[in-house]
Amino acid sequence: MLLAGWGAFTVSVQRRTEQLRAESNHQLDLFAAAVQGMVRRLEPMPATVQLSTEVQALLRQPGDPARVQAASSYLRRLNAHLGGVQLFVQDQRGIVLAASDPALVGDDLSFRPYFLEALSGRVGRHFAIGVRDGVPGYYVSHPIHDGAKVVGVAVLKIGLDPVDEAWGMLGAPALLADSNQVVILSSRPEWIYTALAELPLERKVDLQVTRLYGNHRITRFPLQVDLRVDEDSQIVEGVLPAGLGTGAAGRGPQGRVAASRGMLVLGRTLDGTDWRLLMFADLRSVRQQAAQDSLLAGVSAGFVLLLMLLVNQRRRIVQQKLQLNAELEEKVAARTQALSETNARLRKEVREREQAEHTLREAQDELVHAGKMAALGQLATGITHELTQPLGAIRTLSGNAVAFMQRGQLDAVSGNLAIMARLAEQMGAIIEPLKGFARKSKAQPQAARLATAVHNALFLYHQRIRNEQVTVHDATADSPLAAWCDPNRLEQVLINLIGNGLDAMREQPQRALWIDAAAQDGRVALRVRDQGPGLDPALRDRVFEPFFSTKSAGGGLGLGLAISRDIAREAGGELEADNHPDGGACFTLWLPPVPTPTAP
């Protein structure tokens, strides 16, 4: 069984890792193409600047204010049309002569690499942080020729905000690094301006001189990433250390990431640039599915082994019978007197085997019955939880009705009986799923007034609220606000939330309960807040899990909040849990508003 499970796990990991690799490669190709389109769509534009008569005239007479103004006006209009961040022209010394941003005129940017490359007659492409505005961007520079001579440089700064807004396309952590192996953009802000590889001292000095990254200190990237790229697929694979993912990843053959741990790192080099795009695909889902496949393979192997054992046991029994018959035949002639004893012994063995078979059948019947009882118990657990509070309310109302009848207060008796009838109907609706065992009952959405639902829920806890001296602040009492849902199920959710709040405040010296409702963001928000100790941050995300409860043993089944959230989602809403700034837990029930009737 262990061997089958291990083999299934290994095969499943390999197959699902390749599947994840293919899917991630497809996503990365699409994202890389989108990034290339965002970054490189304006690259040819600086080359057109040298066609401007205003720019050519300015380069011939750099000190003329009128020519500076005319060239800057042209650059401002062109930049507004292109949608770039900045567009400016430098002379041979690197001084900005004209710019779409007047603040840049006169700045000395001769230390920038893109200026030096354009001055030598090449097209410069570099990431850098603006000297004045401190905004990062992609700088594209083109030489401006007067004949064969380079007389100036045209520079366009392209904004990178669209790339930051597109990280969600990948659905996984990713980064973009420049030729210095420095992360310039990332879906995780803490990775920005970190180096994927250790930078030499001369490179660090050069970066300080060129100020490509402003005043940011370049630290080491927190992950140990292998920067080698496959020639055919261009996949970069690395290791994710413990604490940042699913654990420290192991290394497989040829530098590949072991699929049983860590994350798969894939890379692309953007065409036309020296930038590298890295994506981190989590292998946790691969391992989880492989564990399920391993368990299934182990169980299947165990079943096959058990079947083989049964067949072998049967074969041994048949062999024993044949051997016994042979011995009896050999002894018939010599031991006729022992024939009766042998027959008796055989009859006894037959009875024992029949009894064993009968016992086995009874055990099988018990197992089937236990399976049915377990399924019925799981279903009855939820029904019991939902019937507990209505039954307690009926018990209280019936006792009050007897007392009111003895006093002759028939109106009060009639009111209690009406409430008991409504609770009985609600209990009937709860029990309805038992008819089909697994069939869910359909909700009947209608305009449910929140004040009525809150009043009915508080009424069920009236005796407990008075005994425990809980102060209730009900802001919905006079509110006409209504939601589109099933009223009975709305009350069911409120009963769970109020009951949980009362349980949470049982050990508190001061006990108060706040209930309010408001129309917010096109939905109806109903909030229930208590004055208890609040939700433990470590357990807050688990409060909606079935059978999870923070109460003491016997205090709850852990199904109330799970059922309440299912009711809210079935109505088209949601149930959220959080801690209130003033203390205590706050549960917010979001419900759809009552639809506006359309004209015929």
* Rounded Cα distance, 166 and 488, in Å: 44
At 211 the three-state DSSP class reads coil
Confidence band of 251 (pLDDT split at 50, 70, 90): very low
Lowest mean pLDDT among 117-131, 358-372, 535-549: 358-372
Q: β-strands 219-220, 194-195: how paired?
A: parallel
Write down the pLDDT at residue 15: 84
Contact yes or no for 14/286 (Cβ under 8 A): no
What is the rounded (10 degree) CA torsion for 280, 285, 288, 293?
-120
The one-character DSSP state at 250 is P
Lowest mean pLDDT among 81-90, 111-120, 374-383, 426-435: 374-383
Mean pLDDT within 271-282: 80
Confidence band of 262 (pLDDT split at 50, 70, 90): low
CA nearest to 380, candidates 392, 372, 369, 368: 372
Residue type, 382: G
pLDDT over threshold 50, residue 264? yes
**Residue of 123 and 367 predicted with greater confidence:** 123
Q: Which residues contact 290 (CB under 8 A, 6 or more apart)?
A: 8, 9, 12, 13, 16, 260
**Residue of 249 and 30 predicted with greater confidence:** 30
pLDDT over threshold 60, residue 434? no
- H or E stretch at 324: helix 284-332
pLDDT over threshold 80, residue 254? no
Q: What is the pLDDT of residues 153-187, one digit of tens each?
A: 999 988 888 888 888 888 788 888 888 888 888 88
Mean pLDDT within 531-543: 84
User: First-to-last CA distance in the chain?
Assistant: 68
At 63 the three-state DSSP class reads coil
Domain 441-591 top-level CATH class: alpha beta
The one-character DSSP state at 236 is -
Give the position of tokens 């899917």: 23
Write down the pLDDT at residue 112: 87
Q: What is the pLDDT of residues 219-245, one digit of tens each?
A: 888 877 766 544 333 333 444 443 444
Q: Can you give the residue ranges of every domain in the chain?
A: 441-591
pLDDT over threshold 70, residue 383? no
Write down the pLDDT at residue 240: 45
* Rounded Cα distance, 383 and 431, in Å: 7
Write down the pLDDT at residue 317: 92
pLDDT over threshold 70, residue 379? no
**Residue of 539 and 443 predicted with greater confidence:** 539
Lowest mean pLDDT among 104-108, 237-241, 257-261, 339-343: 257-261
Q: What is the DSSP string of 290-322?
A: HHHHHHHHHHHHHHHHHHHHHHHHHHHHHHHHH
Computed over every residue of the chain, the mean pLDDT equals: 80
Cα distances (angstroms) measured from residue 379 to each of 375, 425, 498, 549:
6, 20, 24, 18
Write down the pLDDT at residue 471: 92
Mean pLDDT within 373-384: 50
* Rounded Cα distance, 176 and 370, in Å: 58
Write down the pLDDT at residue 579: 92
Contact yes or no for 265/257 (Cβ under 8 A): yes
Rg of the chain taking only CA atoms, in angstroms: 39
Write down the pLDDT at residue 430: 59
Confidence band of 381 (pLDDT split at 50, 70, 90): low
Number of other residues whose CB lies within 10 A of the CB of residue 459: 15
Contact yes or no for 23/267 (Cβ under 8 A): no
Confidence band of 376 (pLDDT split at 50, 70, 90): very low
* Rounded Cα distance, 48 and 89, in Å: 12
